[in-house]
Chains A and B, each alone.
Chain A
Amino acid sequence: MRTAWMRHPGLMLGLAASFAFALLGLLSLVWTPYPIGDISIARRFAVPSPDHWLGTDQLGRDMLSLIMSGTLTSFTVGATAIIIGAGIGVPLGLAAAIYGGPVEWLVLRFSDLAFAFPSIIIAILIATLMGPGAANAVIAIGIFNIPVFAQVARGGALTISTLDYVAAARLAGLSRPAIALRHLLPNIASLIIVQATIQLSVGILAEAGFSYIGLGTQPPETSLGLMLRDAQNLFLIHPWLSIAPGLAIAVIVIALNIAGDGLRDILDPRLRRQEVGRVAG
C-alpha cells in the first residue's frame, strides 16, 4: 500500500495542496492578518506590501485575509453539499441495489428528476425563496450531488452484491439493510471517497458561478466567487483583484482533481463514474 502511494507523486502533490488550502481556510476561523470586515476606503487598491501581502481590495480590505476566509466558505459550501448529496444519495443507491424492483424504479425516477432540474434554476428559486446566500448554493449543489452519489453507490453495490460473500451473508440470515450496512457500504466507501473529492472541486466551481451572478455568498461574508464578482468591473484598472481569487479557485480545483484521480488509480482503477458529476462545473 505504501509503495502505491509513493508511486503517485501527483496524488501526493494534489493532496498536499488541497490540505494546505483547507488549512488556510480553517486558520481564518481563528486568525486572519486583518478582520475581513475591516473597511478603510483610504487604503483601498494598495499593491502587495509587507503590511498587506496580497494588497487590498476596493474597500481597503486585506486581500490575503479575504482569500483565506473565501477559501473557507468555498470549501464549506462544497463539503456541505457533499454531505447532503452522499447522505441522501448513498442510502438511495444502496436501497435500489439491494431491493431492486419498484424501489429501484422509484430511486431511478427520483434521480432523473434531480438531474433534470437544472441546478442553476434551483439556485435561483431557492435564492428567491430564502434570500440570496451561501445556503442556496449548498442546497442547489447538494441536490445536484444526490443522483451522482446514488448512481455511484448503486453501481458499486451491484458489482459487489453478486459476490460470494454477500450470498453467504444472505444464507446466514442477515437482513438486506444489514447486508448493505455491513458488507456493501464498507466496500463501496472508496468509490464514495473518490467521488466526494471530485464533487468537492465541482462544488467549489459551482459556488463561484452562483456567487458571480449574485445568488451565492453575500457580503459581509466572502467567497472566492464573490471576490471575482466584486472585482470584475475593475479588471481593466486593477487586474490583480480578479487574478488572485481566480488563481486560488483554479489551483484548488486542480489540486482536488489530481488528488481524486490519484485516489481512483489506487483504490479502484476501473472507476469511471466520477466524470458524470463533473459536467455541471
Chain B
Amino acid sequence: MRVTKSLALASAGLLLATSLAMAQSTEIRVGAPLEPPALDPTAGAAEAIDVVVYQNVFEGLTRIDQNGAVQSGLASEWTISEDGLTYDFKLHDGVTFHDGTSFDAEDVKFTFDRILAENSVNAQKALYEAIESVTVVDPLTVEIKLSRPDGLFLFNIGRGDAVIVAPESAENNATQPIGTGPFAFVQWDRGSRVILEQYGPYWGEKPALTKATYVFISDMATMTNALLAGDVDGTYNFSAEALPVFENNPQFKVLVGTTEGETILSTNNAKEPFNKLEVRQAMAHAINRQEIIDGATYGYGVPIGSHFAPHNPYYIDLTNTYPFDLDKAKELLAQAGYPDGFSATLKLPPVNYATVSGQIIASDFAKIGIKLELINMEWAQWLEDVFANKDFDLTIISHVEPFDIGIYANPDYYFGYNNPEFQALNETLNATTDEAKRKELAQEMQTIIAKDAVNGYLFELAQTGVWNAKLDGMWQNAPVEGVVLRDVHWVE
C-alpha cells in the first residue's frame, strides 16, 4: 500500500514538474561549490553558510546591498548621537520569525549579548567589541552604546555574523535555521541540497521566487555539465577557465562583478630575510602581475598595488609602485646581501588561484635566484601553520573581508608587520567620521604598505556568475558573502 502511494506521489511529482516548466517558473536551483557545515551564520566563518541563508533566511538590523552600501533592514530607521557613540534603532512592526514567534527589541538584545558573551563562538566577535551596551527602550526601539566611534558599525551589523536570532530557536539554528527573512528553511538533504520556500507572512516586499534549492556540486567540470544540462539554473561564482563554454551561448549569461578579495603574496615580515625592505621590494619587482592574472584568473582579476579594493571610492592606484623588472629585482637582492638569492617555502591553501599563482611566482622568482619550494596544504592545516602559528615564509591568500586594511595595524597578525606610524594612522581613521578626512587617511595608509612592500599585491578576485539567460535580479558583485535571492526572478 505504501509503495503504491509513493509511486502515485512520484508520478504526480513528475507531472507537476513538467507543468511548472511550461508556465512561468517561480523556482530556482542554484549550484553551489561548497556545502555549508551548518546553517548558523553567527557561529561559523564558512562562506557556504552565508551563501544559503544571508538575507534569505536571516536578516540583520541593517542590510548590505549589492554595491556594498548600507540599507535599512529589520531597523526601519536610526539616529546617531553627535559623538558617534549612541545608536537608536527603530524596529519594523509586525515582523515574525519562521516559527511564528514575533520579533522585537528583546531579540536584538539577545542577539548581541550572545555575540559578545564570554562563551561566544561568533567568528567575527572582534568586529562587535566596540559595543558597550544594548538596551531595550521599548519593544520597537533599541539603543546601542559604543565605547569608541566606529565608522563601519552600521556595515558590520548588516553582515551575516550579526543577523537577528530568537532566544527560542537560536540553539538549533545550525540544523534548523529560524530567521525573519523572505525565505524559510524547509529541508536539508545532507551532501546534496538545501531547500528554501517563500515565507508567507514575510513583513517586507514578497520575493518573486516561491522556492529555492541549493544544489552542492564541488567538481567544477560536473558543475559545467549540470548547467549545460539544465539541472541547475545558475551558479554565483564559476571557475574562470571554463567560462568560454557559456560566454557565447545565448542560453546563459555571465555576470562579472567585484568582490572584496585582495589576493596577496603574504610575507612573513618578522622573519629573515623578509624583514629586509630591499628583499621585499625585490620580490615586488619580480611579480609579473598581468601574467598571474591571466594564468590564475583568465584575465578576470583586477590588478592591485596595495591592500584595497579597486571599486572602493577611497582606492588609489598603486600598481606601479614596483613595476615588473627582473634586473632591478636582482640589484635590490644584491643590495640586501643576497646576490645569489635564497631558498624559501611558499605554503599554498587548496584553492585554484593560489596553486596557479604560486607556480607562476615560483617560475619568475627562480629567475632572480629565489628558489621557492611549493607546499600545498589543506585549509585546516593552513589555518594552524600559517595563520595561527605564523610558521611560514610566504603564502598566497585572498583576504575577503571588506575594508580590512586595519589588519596591518596589528603587529600580532600573521604577516608580522609592525609600523607605529601606520598604527597611529589607523587609530585616527577609526575615530574619524568626516568623509574627506577618512579618504585622505585611507589613501595614506594604502601608500605606506605599498611602499613598504609588506606583501606582494596581486589582484582583486572577480565574481564570475553563470546564470540562465532568463533569470534576472542576481547580485553581480559580492560586497559581502551571500547569494541574495530577494530580487531574483524569471523573465521571458
A-side residues, CB < 8 A to B, are 37-39, 41, 44, 58-59, 127-128, 131-133, 214, 218-220, 232-237
Contact = CB atoms under 8 A, between A and B. Distances in A.
Contacts of B376: 131-133, 218-219
Contact of B374 (A38, A58, A220, A232): A220
Report, nearest first, the 7 A-B pairs whose CB atoms are least far apart.
A232-B221, A218-B376, A39-B363, A41-B295, A41-B294, A233-B242, A233-B220
Determine the main DSSP class of A at the interface with B.
Answer: loop
Interface string B350-385: 100001101110110010000000111110110000
B241 interface: yes
A39 B245 contact: no
B404 interface: no
11 contacts: A41-B291, A58-B241, A59-B356, A128-B381, A131-B375, A131-B378, A220-B359, A233-B221, A233-B241, A234-B242, A237-B244
B239 interface: yes
B224 interface: yes
A214 B242 contact: no
Given A41-B295, A233-B224, A128 B374 contact: no
Nearest to B221: A232
B374 A39 contact: no
A200 B221 CA distance: 29
A33 to B, nearest CB: 17
Contacts of A127: 378
A131 B294 contact: no
A37 B355 contact: no
Nearest to B218: A213
A37 B363 contact: yes
A232 to B, nearest CB: 4
A39 B378 contact: no
A186 to B, nearest CB: 44
Contacts of A232: 219-221
A37 B361 CA distance: 11
B355 A219 contact: yes
A218 B375 CA distance: 8
B374 A219 contact: yes
Given A219-B355, A219-B374, A232-B221, A237 B350 contact: no
B377 A236 contact: no
A127 B380 CA distance: 12
Contacts of A41: 291, 294-295, 360
Given A131-B381, A219-B376, A220-B374, A39 B220 contact: no
Given A128-B381, A220-B359, A237-B244, 11 more contacts: A37-B359, A37-B363, A39-B295, A39-B359, A127-B378, A131-B376, A131-B377, A131-B381, A132-B378, A218-B374, A232-B219
A37 B366 CA distance: 10
B166 to A, nearest CB: 38
A238 B404 CA distance: 39
Interface in B282-308: 291, 294-295
Nearest to A229: B221
